[in-house]
Amino acid sequence: MRREDIDPRFFGDRLAYNRAVLVEQPRRWLVVAGHEARDDEGGIAAVGDVRGQLRLTFRRLAETLDKAGFALGDLVQIRIFTVDIEAVTAHYDAVLDELAAADCRPASLLAEVRALSDPRMLVEIEGLAAQ
């Protein structure tokens, strides 16, 4: 598979996201449903803590990818939904840290929505991975 970053955008000196990612001849695709910050018992964790919810959500996303034989670095697109875009923007370095640690450079969306499926949830992240 060949992958090419199209029109990357930077947050300071760090890659924040790509406007597009060209993927040629992938062997496999994985469509990943929205993930949220859930503890091991399935309850919402890090209630009221955007940074904590972002980090835990990426951990849960990585676990799902791993179960399918993928890794965070295989993500070519992510969509981050939040009920508080100002809070997520203020803690966006947590997103950049997670992506950089995985050498992940997806096309990205950050959007504010009126509500998520549980009022304690601050963020939900879905993705598309390719190998």
When divided into structural domains, the chain yields a total of 1
pLDDT score, position 10: 82
Provide the CATH number for the domain around residue 43.
Answer: 3.30.1330.40
β-pair type (107-112, 75-82): parallel
pLDDT score, position 50: 98
Rounded Cα distance, 59 and 62, in Å:
5
What is the maximum alpha-carbon separation in the chain? Answer: 42
Residue 102's domain spans which residues? 2-130
pLDDT score, position 63: 98
pLDDT score, position 15: 76
Phi, psi at 44, each rounded to 5°: -70, 130
Identify the burial level of 64 via C-beta atoms within 10 angstroms of its C-beta, where 0-12 means exposed, 13-18 middle and 19 or more buried. Answer: middle
pLDDT score, position 97: 95
For helices 50-67 and 92-101, the axis angle rounded to 10 degrees is 30
Residues of the chain scoring pLDDT < 50:
none
